[in-house]
Structure 1
Amino acid sequence: MPADTGGGANASRTVLFDFDGVLFQGDSFAMFMRHRYQYSWLRKLLVLLTLPWWLPCMLVSRWWGLRTLVHVALCGIGPVRYQQAVEAFADQLVRRPRQFCRDGVQALRRHLANGDEVIVVTGCEQLLATRLLSGLGLHDLTVIGSQLKPGWSGMRVQLHNVGWRKVQSVTAVGVQKWHVAYGDSMHDLAMLKQAGEAVLVNGTPKLCKRVEKTLGRAVTRVAWY
C-alpha cells in the first residue's frame, strides 16, 4: 500500500526522497558521464591511457575506479564550464519521455501540497539533480547531493552522498528528525532507519526482506512507474 500522503495529523512533516530510482528512472550522473565520453575522442583516449590505474582500482574497490573515470570525464573543466555543461545536459534530459518516475513525482507534489517539508537526498551530484528537478517546475526544493570541487586538473569528487553520509548531510543542515523517507536500495538503509515511516520503492521481494530484516521492522512497499 502507498504511504499516506494525506493532510490532517500528517501535515507539516519532514519527508526525504532519494532521487535515482525513486524520482528519476536510472542513474542520472552516470548518464551525464556517458554523455561526456560519447562526444569526446580525447576523453576516450585519456581513459585508455589511465587504464593501468583505474582498472586495478575497479577490481579492488569499484568506487575508486569510478572516481577516476569521473575525474577523467571532467578533466580541464572548471566550475563555470561544469555548470554550463550540466545545465545543457539536464535541459535536454528533462524533455526525454518517461525519464522520470511519474508516480514518484506525483507523491512528492502531494507532500508539498500538504505543507510537508520535502528534502531530496541523493547520491547524484547536487547541481545536476537540482537542475533536473527545476526542469519539472520543482524550483523550491531543498536538494542535498554529492559534491564536486575544483582541482588543478578539473572538477573532482569532494563528497559522495550515499549510505550513512545521507544522514550526516541532512543533519548538517539542521534536520534532526524526519517522518517519512523514500528509498529504493540498501544504500538508503541509514536514511530509512531513522524515518518514522520507511517506504521502499519498486523493491523486489528479496530486497524487501533484506531491508526489513536489517531495520527490524516492516517497511511500506510501493510500485511506482
Structure 2
Amino acid sequence: MSPQAYPVPRDDAPVVVFDFDHTLYDGDSFGHVLGWMLKRNPLRALVALAATPVLGPMVALLPTRRRGITGYVWIGTFGLHGRRSFDALLDLYVATHQDQIRQRLLPIALEVLRGHRASGDRVVIATGAPPELARAILAFVTHQDVPVIGTAVGPRFGAMGARRHCHNEEKVRMLEERGYGEIAVAYSDSSADLPLLHAAHAPVVVNPKAKRVEMFRKVLPAGTPILNWGCKDRAGQAVA
C-alpha cells in the first residue's frame, strides 16, 4: 500500500504512538550506526574500547544511560562539522546496509502500523534515535511520511551530541508539544517508556526483555497485552 492510499487523519482521530527500536525494528538502530562509525576508524575504535570500562556500565543503567551513550557518540563523531555532515553519515550507513536493515524491520509490527494508518488514526513514531535515521529506515517500507519525533542532535565540544533526548518523561513532553497530548494507544518494549505507556489509554508492551515482564504486569493496568512481534531474543506472547 502506497502512502497516498492511506486516509488523511482527522484532527480528532485517535493518536497511536509507536516506539521504534525493538518495536518496529529488531535491535538498537542508532547503536548499529554508532558501532559502524567506530569500526570505520581504528583510532576511534581503540578510544571507545579504552573508555568502555567507564561508559559500558553507564549505558547499562537507566539513570546514567544517556551520559554513557553521549560518550560513545562523542567518540564516534569527533571532527564532524555540524548536522549536515552527521545526516550525510546516517544516509551513507543506510545506503550501505540495506539488506541488514530490511531484515530487521518486523513484519508483524509493520502490519499493525499499516492497520492503524488504514483506520485513519494519527500515527506517530517516538524514538530515542535521531529522527532522520528512523525516517530513512521507514522509507524502505513506504512509511517515510509518518511523523517521527526523536532525539535532537547538534554540534557539541567538537563532535555531535544530543541537544534534547527523546527518552522517558521527555518523550511524553515532546509528543505533547507536537500536539499529541491525548494518546489512545502506545506500543513500546522499554521500561524507559513507562511514562508513555502510563499516558496511553491502551498501552501495549511488545518485545520486552524477559526480566521486565513481571514489572510491566505489576505497574500497568490489568490485562495490558505483552506481545512478541518477532524478536527472537525477547519475551512476550507470540503473535502469528
TM-score bracket, shorter-length normalisation: 0.7 to 0.9
**1:202 aligns to what?**
207
Q: Which runs of 5+ in 2 are unaligned?
A: 1-11, 59-63, 231-240
Q: Which residue of 2 aligns with 1:17?
A: 18
Matched residue, 1:116: 121
Secondary structure of the 2:151 match is: strand
Counterparts in 2 of 1:151-162, with a 5 A limit? Answer: 151-162=156-167
Q: Which has the higher contact order (CA 8 A, sep 6+)?
A: 1
Structure 1 length-normalised TM: 0.85
Distance 2:202 2:98 in 1: 30
> Are the equivalent residues in 2 in contact too, given 1:103–1:224 (CA < 8 A)?
yes
Describe the SS at the equivalent of 1:200: strand
Partner in structure 1 of residue 41 of structure 2: 40
1:131 aligns with 2:161: no
2:198 aligned with 1:181, yes or no?
no
In the alignment, is the contact (CA less than 8 A) between 1:181 and 1:192 conserved in 2?
yes
Give the structure with the larger strand fraction. Answer: 1
Say if 2:141 is the partner of 1:140.
no
Partner in structure 2 of residue 75 of structure 1: 78
Of 86-95 and 166-175, more deviation after overlay is shown by: 86-95
How many pairs align? 212
Deviation at 1:62, TM superposition (A): 4.3
C-alpha root-mean-square deviation of aligned residues, in Å?
2.2
Structure 1 gaps, min length 5:
1-10
| Structure 1 Cα separation of the partners of residues 212 and 31 of structure 2 | 23
Cα distance in structure 2, aligned partners of 1:70 and 1:205? 28
* Residues 33-71 of structure 1, C-alpha deviations (whole Å, 9 max, x = no match): 0000111123124436x73xx744655634323311111
From the superposition, tell whether residues 181 and 41 of structure 1 become closer, same or farther in structure 2 (CA, over 3 Å): same
SS in 2 for 1:26: coil
CA contact (8 A) 2:83 2:153 kept: no
TM-score between the two structures when normalised by the length of structure 2 = 0.80
Structure 2 residue matching 1:15: 3-state secondary structure: strand
**Which of the residues 50, 64, 67 maps onto 1:64?**
67
| % same residue | 27
Asked whether the 8 Å contact 2:22–2:189 carries over to 1, the reply is: yes
Report the Cα offset of residue 206 of structure 1.
5.3
Deviations 1:122-164 (A, max 9, x none): 1112111111112221121110111111235022221221111
Partners of 2:77 and 2:189 in 1: CA distance = 28
Moved segments of 4+, more than 6 Å: none
Deviation at 1:211, TM superposition (A): 1.4
Counterpart code for 2:68: G
Residue number in structure 2 paired with 1:8: none
Q: Take 2:229 and 2:221, find their aligned partners in 1: how far apart are those partners?
A: 24
Out of 173, 180, 199, the residue aligned to residue 168 of structure 1 is 173
CA offsets, 1:86-120, max 9 Å, x none? 01212333432521111001110111111111000
